[in-house]
Amino acid sequence: MDHPFGIDFGGTGIKGAPVDLAAGEFAQERVRIPTPRPATPAAVAAVFAELVASFPASTAPVGVTVPGVVRHGVVHSAANIDPAWIGTDADALFTEATGRDVHVVNDADAAGLAEVRYGAARGRRGLVIVTTLGTGIGSAFVHDGVLVPSSELGHLEIDGHEAEHRAANSAREREGLTMPQWAERLQVFYRHVERLFSPDLFVVGGGISKQSEEFLPLLDLETEIVPAALRNKAGVVGAALYASEGVAEG
């Protein structure tokens, strides 16, 4: 079977695999290639071409995550990536580089789609807000299974600070915060989001979600909040899902 391909573009590594969408699993073992320095669009496109070429030839679509705002295939922000990405028509660039039909999606949006379809929010109705706590704070809104893209909740201003500068996992590491100290900042962030959007469920992803039992129980929210289930698979799986279904719906 010709499976769609997912690529997760991260700060240190670029990971990719064909994805079995019926199961929400990799159809073949994932391949990882170090992220080039500098990670300009052209350099990254060359890695994508190498990655796709390391698997059997296919005509199935390719989904790619990008840590920035993406509108209609064009990257509009680059808070944590090379500034050359801003204004890049990534869909066109990567389609040409790989010879495949490529569709780009924000990395948190990809994770959100994967968690709603296969993970911690599977079967949940209403508004699910997926947040990724890493270098920044990524977010995804999925309402009744439909993605509302580019929410960027990490850039909300809270107490005079951009939320991700205070409450991302990178802030915890940089300032040497204990889990209870960090949880106080997360409480402010999630309570603010809760008041604005009244979600039915929060899902917390990012590498730190593996330690969720150390901080999630410290939060006092009206909304149920649970750790992500797919973890490091979410980007690849969500990107492939977006390429095969999200674009068709749009």
pLDDT tens by residue, the chain, 250 residues: 689 999 999 888 999 999 999 999 999 999 999 999 999 999 999 999 999 999 999 999 999 999 889 999 999 987 777 899 999 999 999 999 999 999 999 999 999 999 999 999 999 999 999 999 998 999 999 999 999 998 999 999 998 999 999 999 999 999 999 999 999 999 999 999 999 999 999 999 999 999 999 999 999 999 999 999 998 899 999 999 999 985 544 4
Q: How many residues does the chain have?
A: 250
Q: Which of 171, 93, 169, 90 is nearest to 133 (CA)?
A: 169
Give, rounded to a whole angstrom, the gap between the first and last alpha carbons of the chain: 24
SS3 of residue 66 by DSSP: strand
Strand partners, 222: none
Note the pLDDT of residue 12: 87
Question: What H or E segment, with its residue span, contains residue 235?
Answer: helix 234-241
d(C-alpha 44, C-alpha 49), whole Å: 9
Side chain identity at residue 90, one-letter code: A
In 3D space, the residue among 174, 172, 183 whose CA is nearest the CA of residue 216 turns out to be: 183
At 61, phi and psi to the nearest 5? -70, 160
Report pLDDT for 246.
59
pLDDT score, position 232: 86
| pLDDT value for 248 | 46
Q: Spell out the domains of the chain, with CATH numbers in brackets.
A: 5-109+233-249 (3.30.420.40), 122-229 (3.30.420.40)
pLDDT number for residue 67 = 87
Looking at residue 249, its pLDDT comes to 47
The gap from C-alpha 16 to its chain's centroid, in whole angstroms, comes to: 14
Within 8 A by CB and 6+ apart from 15, the residues are 7, 8, 30, 31, 32, 232, 235, 236
CB atoms within 10 A of CB 143: 15
